[in-house]
Structure 1
Amino acid sequence: MSSTKNRGSITLLVGPMFSGKTTELFRQANMYMLKGKKVALVRYAKDNRYSDNLASTHDKRTMKAISAIHLSEVFDKLMECEVVVIDEGQFFDDVTSVCDELANAGKIVVVSTLNGDFQRKPFDSVVPLFPLVDKIVKLNAVCMPCGNKAIYTFRTVLNSEVEVIGGSDMYKAVCRECYFKLKEEQSKAQLEKQRSQILHSIEAVSIMSMNSPLSCVESENIDPSLNVIRQMNDR
């Protein structure tokens, strides 16, 4: 009789937002439960848009889940199950080490994760997991502006933080062409906002100067702002 320990497996569900990753995660969890397996579903605790103890799809389908910020917090609970499914894997900084340890202990692990952030950059937590997985399932969404196949996630609000949790109020699934089109429109809108803010500041200073005449030195201090406006108008 072989003494080799039975190994588990890791399946990675990858795609942009709105590609059905959580829906597929639920499907696989239900499939294993129908087979009589004990299944644990883990959700990211900081994502409390829908519930503190339910994982949810964008169309509000839910499943009871274990909440955690780090997978190591609930590792003992996960070891009690035969199948572990993890939603939003990119948010767990220990996703690679924990998934590998679970699989090596004979657990079936299924993880859903974004294929990249809003800047099309990989998540540092997920990159080391790719060489360790048994299977990768690539999912696509529908491009919200044009209806073609979407492969990227575009953030519609101006925020440079990587972890900004939101839904359709903050993100769109987009194709390659629409991604760059929206980026250009967003840059122009941001530039226009900056121009408006500078004009407003100069107008406020001008009103103040009418009541309190500026010296020559003080007047020179306004010129750089005026130059910025001229440069913006030249673009």
Structure 2
Amino acid sequence: MPLNPVASVRPAGRLEVIAGPMFSGKSEELMRRVRRATIAGIKVLVISHSLDTRSELSTITSHIGVNIPAVPLSDIDSLAEAAHGEDYDLVAIDEAQFFGPDLVPVVGDIIARGADVIVEGLCVTFDGGPFEPMPTFMAIAEDVLKLTAVCTICGRDAVFHQRLPARESKESSQLSATAIDASHIGGLESYVARCRTHFSPGAIK
């Protein structure tokens, strides 16, 4: 009896999104999910962007210093090659915004091949605009977790982060807020979390 051709095809994977501003705990949530998958015996590939040099390139490190091993990559082609190099069950991508909008079809292909994908990153720029490709991923995902930070002025939920004036340079001030540039990387010395009421880029006191 011939096999059912539909049943013999590996089902498509699913897309999970972890999004939010800086300081919202995105990396910690990604690490939690990766650790759970590893304990369950799931074959996981964790990818980071090599632009993020806040820690060892072979790890993802959160703002609170927790880390997990990761493969640092700089471009879409390298990411696709790594994801298809072995038969992974789960591909987790940290700081997905740094890979740009071209990441969307690559992730779609990984999912079509049967692997689950978790993308984690900033869905908002430091000037309050959408930061692609995260908004697109949020629209097409099976599961979306949008996290908030804590406003450093009033303590309310912060959906924004903004850059401190001291972080600005002549070069960085001329860049688009969505430019893939090292100026997007930093901690409390460079950025602060803000609620909607207190969000005012360039007006930090």
Indicate conservation of the 8 Å contact 2:19/2:134, yes or no.
no
Alignment of 1:119-130 (within 5 A): 119-130=127-138
* Structure showing greater relative contact order (alpha-carbon pairs closer than 8 Å, 6 or more residues apart): 2
Instruction: Give the ranges of 4+ consecutive aligned residues of structure 1 lying more than 4 Å apart after TM superposition.
Output: none
3-state SS in 1 of match to 2:203 = helix
Name the structure 2 match of 1:112: 120
| 1:178 partnered with 2:198 | yes
3-state SS in 1 of match to 2:130 = coil
Pick which of 126-135 and 79-88 moved more. 126-135
3-state SS in 1 of match to 2:81 = helix
For the aligned residue pairs, the C-alpha RMSD in angstroms reads 1.8
Name the structure 2 match of 1:10: 15
Deviation at residue 184 of structure 1 after TM alignment: 6.8
Distance 1:2 1:32 in 2: 30
Deviation at residue 75 of structure 1 after TM alignment: 2.2
Normalising by structure 1, we get a TM-score of 0.73
Name the structure 2 match of 1:88: 95
Aligned length: 185
Q: 23, 33, 38: which is aligned to 2:38?
A: 33
Q: Which AA in structure 2 matches 1:82? A: D
Deviation at residue 3 of structure 1 after TM alignment: 2.4
3-state SS in 2 of match to 1:67 = strand
Name the structure 2 match of 1:70: 75
Q: Is the alpha carbon distance of 1:122 and 1:36 closer, same or farther for their aligned partners in structure 2, counting shifts above 3 Å? A: same
Deviation at residue 131 of structure 1 after TM alignment: 3.5
Q: Which AA in structure 1 matches 2:123? A: N
Distance 1:54 1:184 in 2: 32
| 1:45 partnered with 2:65 | no
Offset from partner CA, 1:135-183 (integer Å, 9 cap, x none): 1111111111221111101111334333322111111111011113xx4
Deviation at residue 68 of structure 1 after TM alignment: 0.7
Deviation at residue 129 of structure 1 after TM alignment: 2.9
Name the structure 2 match of 1:231: none
Distance 2:202 2:48 in 1: 34
Unaligned stretches of 5+ in structure 1?
190-235
Indicate conservation of the 8 Å contact 1:25/1:112, yes or no.
yes
Normalising by structure 2, we get a TM-score of 0.83
Q: Is the alpha carbon distance of 1:184 and 1:28 closer, same or farther for their aligned partners in structure 2, counting shifts above 3 Å? A: closer
Percent identical:
28
Name the structure 2 match of 1:230: none
Name the structure 2 match of 1:135: 143
Deviation at residue 51 of structure 1 after TM alignment: 1.2
Indicate conservation of the 8 Å contact 1:95/1:126, yes or no.
no
Indicate conservation of the 8 Å contact 2:123/2:134, yes or no.
no
Indicate conservation of the 8 Å contact 1:100/1:132, yes or no.
no
Distance 2:41 2:164 in 1: 43
3-state SS in 2 of match to 1:113 = strand
